[in-house]
Homo-oligomer: A and B are copies of this chain.
Amino acid sequence: MPSSDSTQTDLLIVGAGPAGLMLAAWACQYDIRFRIIDNKATRVGTGHADGLASRTLEIFDSFGLVHDVLKDAYRINEICSWNPDPDRPDWIKRTQRAKGQPHGLSRYPQSILNQGSIEQILLDHVKAKAGVEVERNTSPQTLDVDEAVCDDEDAHPIVLTLKTHDDGQGEHHTTVNAKYVVGCDGAHSWVRRQLGIAMEGDVTNRQFGVMDIVALTNFPDVRQSCVIHSNSGSVMTVPREGRLLRLYVQFAETKQGEPFDRKSVTSQAILEKARPMFEPYTLDFRICDWQSVYTIGQRVAKQFSYRNRVFLCGDAVHTHSPTMGQGMNVSMQDAYNLGWKLGSVIEGTAKREILSTYNDERRPVAQELIDLDRRMSDFYSQGPSENSSKYAAFRDSFSWFLSGVSVAYGSSSLVAAVPDDHSDKKDVVAGTALRNGANGAVHLNGNSNTIEGRPDLATGLSVGRRIAPCNIVCQAEANVVLLSDKLPSIGRWRVVVFAGDLTLSAQWNAVEELGCTLDGICQMYSRSPKDSHSVIEVILIHSGTHDAFTLLDLHDIYHPDNGDEGWDYWKVYSDDAAALSVGEQSTAYKQYGVDEKAGCVAVLRPDQHVAYVGSIAEDEALSRFFAGILRPAERSTNGTQPAAS
């Protein structure tokens, strides 16, 4: 149990913004001690970040929190482009009205909710789940790493002194020894500076004024997200929850070296700047919720971690312009990538080596983001153009990346290598080269444990990418469920057995044999005989109807015995087209490109990314895959019950 009096902790999170809180959300899922500190007295109130990409909503869903987010969020359904009216160029005219994002990209549209609400949802969750609250008014003063013991799994090599303000009544200092530290402390990251990690990139002289107002206007698209390129400058609008409207208004670019008076950018100044851009429509407000000014710049840290003991997430390692609504998303996605790795290493179920994949997986994403941001901010600054009048096509080419769903991690101990001839061509079309690493290398991390799978057996899955949602039918209850709902963020690896056609006896036998192997694997890494404590969970999806056979005839691993609570009836699903036909989407086997007779096996990481695809017969490869990353239960130094604090 965490305690502020403890001098030892497994994990210290510095900064309780969206990234730090997302990390805490993961930490709740593990039996570890963690603390989270923040130098501010309260969470963010109004304003700040507000864009929520599809993948971020999927992540909230995986923690059971998406309903809390969506009930107040604004959803971007359409994006409207406005450009100078050819007949009267000082007036604007709508040139395009387009869908917010391509159909089928995610079940969640891009949505908008203020950062404070997001933080509150995570704060409530972490408190309810683990009883942990943010230690506020607290900032680290010194950070020392005992280099000699960094590779000792049980060591607490990081020593920090913390200073806490007591509501004006002075301050007190404490010392913490931590196994791991994560700096989620923003663009001016104190943690990053202690580590001497440099930021690479530039800051421009382009300034945007931004404000959240309740708009009084006759502009027809006030409740749509708009990109307005007028002859008086550019403005971007994003409606928000309640009646708020956010405006990003371009200010003149200052000359090199010329100072920019940020204080002059009042809400009234932003209004005055924006008004001619909205002509012939009126614009006014009486309520302004928040106002700020941004200087456009793109910078990425040289590295995202230090000796796999100290890690950096979010703005601490990448800064860019706010207009794409990406900041909060990529920051939380950084933390989402890191959290389960740290949790399982600290618990002792995974090998420490997997931690190096954080830098290898997330730094290329940040680099891609920065490259894209440069293009987008040039676009906003260049004035009316071919791109701006047909904004949808321009934006669509980025939307797979912006939504976060197409991010694919390169091969490593955690992602099987993809034979060259099976590399996914679609990613390039979708505007991101991430599938093969941002630098074009196929193997970002040449881990010797890397095994090659058979991605050709599931042509609709992309190894390294998150699995797309798909409807399946519960064998026992006959209800249609989303596969994603069976993959919550609780720290478990999943082996999804696409069992093919189980009415064929050879196939049935192969799936039974695989069941024996999986049973062995699950037992090897399980801390308890109870299935619900296993690090690996087996899910079976067959291609027949949901009453094609009797569930209990399958190997027990597909319906584990829970003693007094009987069999587990919620592991076996069918791709039953008839049961799905009530207005549902395409069936799983079609969507994932899996042969309906022969099936295949897919391994999903705790973050729902596809780690491996192979044939049902190659059960030995599965054993090797897990042997490369997990620690057998008997060799655990930590077990499921860490030493009490």
Contacts and interface: CB of A to CB of B under 8 A. Distances in A.
A103 interface: yes
Contact of A223 (B97, B239, B477): B477
Interface string A59-79: 000000001000000110110
A550 B77 contact: no
Interface stretch (A313-321, A325-333, A561-569): A561-569
A426 interface: no
A479 B75 contact: yes
A218 interface: yes
B564 A239 contact: no
A19 B74 CA distance: 35
Contacts of A78: 478
A127 to B, nearest CB: 18
Interface string A210-233: 000011111010111000000000
A529 to B, nearest CB: 17
Contacts of A478: 77-78, 224
Contact of A224 (B74, B224, B477): B477
A565 B479 contact: no
A428 interface: no
A216 B476 CA distance: 15
Given A547-B97, A582-B103, A566 B220 contact: no
- In the complex, the count of this chain's copies comes to 2
A215 B77 contact: no
Contacts of A75: 477, 479
Nearest to A216: B566
A551 interface: yes
Interface in A173-216: 214-216
B551 A220 contact: yes
Given A243-B566, A550-B220, A569-B223, A77 B287 contact: no
A287 B214 contact: no
A453 to B, nearest CB: 33
Interface residues of A, number: 37
Contacts of A218: 552
A257 interface: no
A477 B77 contact: yes
A255 interface: no
A88 interface: no
A583 interface: yes
A216 B568 CA distance: 11
> Which of A478, A547, A552, A582 lies at the interface centre, i.e. has the most chain B CB atoms within 10 A of its CB?
A478
Nearest to A245: B566
A287 B476 contact: no
A286 interface: yes
Contacts of A97: 547
Given A220-B550, A547-B97, A552-B220, A214 B566 contact: yes
A96 B328 CA distance: 52
Contacts of A222: 476, 569
A332 B211 CA distance: 47
Given A569-B222, A582-B103, A239 B477 contact: yes
A78 B576 CA distance: 14
A77 B564 contact: no
> Which of A78, A476, A477, A583 lies at the interface centre, i.e. has the most chain B CB atoms within 10 A of its CB?
A477
Contact of A243 (B77, B239, B565): B565
Contacts of A103: 582
Contact of A564 (B287, B476, B552): B287
Contacts of A480: 77
A75 B476 CA distance: 12
Interface string A284-314: 0011000000000000000000000000000
A243 B567 CA distance: 9
Interface string A419-441: 00000000000000000000000
A562 to B, nearest CB: 8
Nearest to A546: B78
A638 B222 CA distance: 39
Contacts of A551: 220
A77 B67 CA distance: 23
A97 B576 CA distance: 15
A214 B479 contact: no
Interface in A568-598: 569, 582-583, 585
Given A75-B477, A77-B479, A217-B566, 19 more contacts: A74-B477, A75-B479, A77-B477, A77-B480, A97-B547, A214-B566, A215-B566, A216-B566, A218-B552, A220-B551, A220-B552, A223-B474, A223-B476, A223-B569, A224-B477, A239-B477, A243-B566, A287-B564, A583-B583
Top 5 A-B pairs, shortest CB-CB distance: A223-B476, A77-B478, A286-B564, A78-B478, A77-B479
16 contacts: A67-B67, A77-B478, A77-B480, A78-B478, A214-B564, A214-B565, A215-B566, A216-B566, A220-B550, A220-B551, A222-B476, A223-B474, A223-B569, A243-B566, A286-B564, A287-B565
